[in-house]
Structure 1
Amino acid sequence: MPRRLAPEIMDDPGQSEADFSAALHDLERLNRLTFAHAPLLRFLDRVLREERPARLSLLDVGAGGGDALRAVAAWGSRRGVALDLWGLDRSPWAERHALARGTPARWITSDLFDLDPARRFDLVTCSLFAHHLDDATLLRFLPWLRRHAMRRWLITDLHRHPIPWAAVWAGTRAMRMHPMVTHDGPVSVARGFTRADWVRLASEAGVQAEIRWVLPFRWSVSGPGGGALPP
């Protein structure tokens, strides 16, 4: 199944706030049903186990409605880790939706490449966002992640395969999800990745990456950060 870069409706800035928010609500429901945040929380547990930080700053890129950040906040509360959480999304509606849902994070409404190059966070994460980017942009994004993360960075995203494509196509329709989700869901899977894609992209970008298979039909790609800026 070749990677197909058909456009997603959610990426169209002309969408209304009401439609965007309704779609985010259904995506959050889909994320819960598919355990979308499990690899992110396992990544955090690994950081905690290996480095034992008392406090962490974390930037979530393509943060959407903030459900990943809310999952991270709950993790921090359970583990006794103080968190400084940030969300970055270029949609002006994302922050309003996330804060209305009680997301305990500060927000940056911006294109990711417009972020101040001097900004650093302990961890930079990216949950189900990378498939929105074409290969050329991903080759810029992978070094960007390393540059802005002091400790580690993480991408979790979809595995491109006919089985999850069919499951998402049928499931979003059976659950009567928003039309934006029923359209974008299967498109997202077709824009997803295989292991070979990630191996090639990491090599071409010149970044060290650990690539792990995650159920159901996901990839976890992580690597070391670039450290703090010199004084």
Structure 2
Amino acid sequence: MTKRPLYAAEDRAADDRAADQPPIAPRSDAGPVEHFRSGSQDNRTRFLSSRRPDLVEWMDRSDCDPVKLHNTYRYFPVINRLISRWDAVYRHYIRPQLRKGQRFTLLDVGSGGGDITRNIHAWAGRDGFLLDVTGIDPDGRALEYARGGAGADPEGRADCDDRTDREDQAAREGRTDREDQAAREGRTEHVDRTEHVDRTDAEPAILRFLQTDTGRLRREGKKFDFVVCNHVLHHLSDEDIAAFLDDLAGLSVRRVICSDIERSAIGYALFSVATWPLFPNSFIRADGLISIRKSYRPDELRAVLPQGWRVIRQFPFRLLVLYDKMVLYDKTDLNRNVSF
């Protein structure tokens, strides 16, 4: 199988070609019950019986309304706080593996508007851990918002725009200061990622956003303790998902965590009703309903996962995909089936 990085140029071109066709998607102005009333009884019976990876979300189109796109990024923190529940994912699957006095690294793939990236960085800092967090996205519009441009209002700003070329390269590679100094002197120095770091001398944990993809990072030999992604898997075909997960596993030293939607008729109906009066002038409702139709059910996802990956069901209508690369500090979460 030929590996392709997340949202590579050819994928974006394919989306642009698809944009020339009428989208197979619920109208953003359709009522909450209208989606279930259209079509024959047979069509309604088959609705959501199989995933629709061919559907294209409005915000993924290069020519989408920029105002609605900005508003969608602005509303994402609310959606992710209520539905994605990364606060619980952090508590159960990331925090138990962190140790005070050590520096860890985390990569957020497909970071979008950056709210999850920022939150994980903030939660770790609040708990007294040194966790350098990097968000990557190939979409320049998302990076501009995440970095605080174009009138965006995410909390705080990443300072990656002010880095020198050398500093940015070190940031891309997840290198420590000692490794970076050795590279400038023409030496190669390996730093054990689990070594003790004197907290009084340690630099503050880094938060940065980069416009790149998993394939490029892996070709460049980058490594991170944790690799996470939110709402990426449902964008991929069954054929592409194994290659994507292979990239994530190759980038991770400790654990990979992918969070996504579980396709469900009840979840579809509830999301349609709950978001009907909310999130005006955005793609939240229309794209959310498309995402549900594109997403997996647990057995479908297990059937396409490579060996060693596990699926955990979560509330509400969530699927968590985990892969562990090494013996972890705390094994109590290995068989955890948490209802958040």
Which deviations, in whole Å up to 9, do the C-alpha atoms of 1:139-167 show, x marking residues without a partner? 21111111000111110110010011112
Tell whether 2:234 aligns with 1:127. no
Could you tell me how far apart the structure 2 residues matched to 1:58 and 1:65 are? Answer: 17
Tell whether 2:135 aligns with 1:70. no
Checking the alignment, whether the CA contact within 8 Å between 2:268 and 2:289 is kept in structure 1 is yes
Note the aligned Cα RMSD (angstroms): 2.1
Shift of 1:177: 3.3
Number of aligned positions between the proteins: 222
Q: Secondary structure at the match of 1:34?
A: helix
Q: When the two structures are superposed, what TM-score results if normalisation uses the length of structure 1?
A: 0.87
What residue identity is the alignment partner of 2:80?
N
Q: Secondary structure at the match of 2:85?
A: coil
Shift of 1:115: 2.8
Could you tell me how far apart the structure 1 residues matched to 2:157 and 2:299 are? Answer: 35
Q: When the two structures are superposed, what TM-score results if normalisation uses the length of structure 2?
A: 0.61
Structure 1 or 2, whichever has the larger Rg, is 2
Tell whether 2:70 aligns with 1:47. no
More strand by share: 1
Tell whether 2:274 aligns with 1:171. yes
Q: 4+ runs of 1 displaced by more than 4 Å?
A: none
Shift of 1:39: 4.2
Could you tell me how far apart the structure 1 residues matched to 2:259 and 2:214 are? Answer: 17
Structure 2: runs of 5+ lacking an equivalent: 1-48, 149-153, 159-206, 328-340
Deviates more, 1:52-61 or 1:75-84: 52-61
Question: Counterpart in 1 of 2:260?
Answer: 157
Shift of 1:121: 0.7
Checking the alignment, whether the CA contact within 8 Å between 2:100 and 2:128 is kept in structure 1 is no
Give the alignment of 1:3-14 within 5 angstroms.
Answer: 3-5=51-53, 6-14=55-63
More helix by share: 1
Tell whether 2:242 aligns with 1:194. no
What residue identity is the alignment partner of 1:216?
P
Shift of 1:220: 0.9
**Judging changes above 3 Å, is the alpha-carbon distance between structure 1 residues 210 and 75 closer, same or farther for their aligned structure 2 residues?**
same
Tell whether 2:130 aligns with 1:82. yes
Question: Counterpart in 1 of 2:83?
Answer: 34
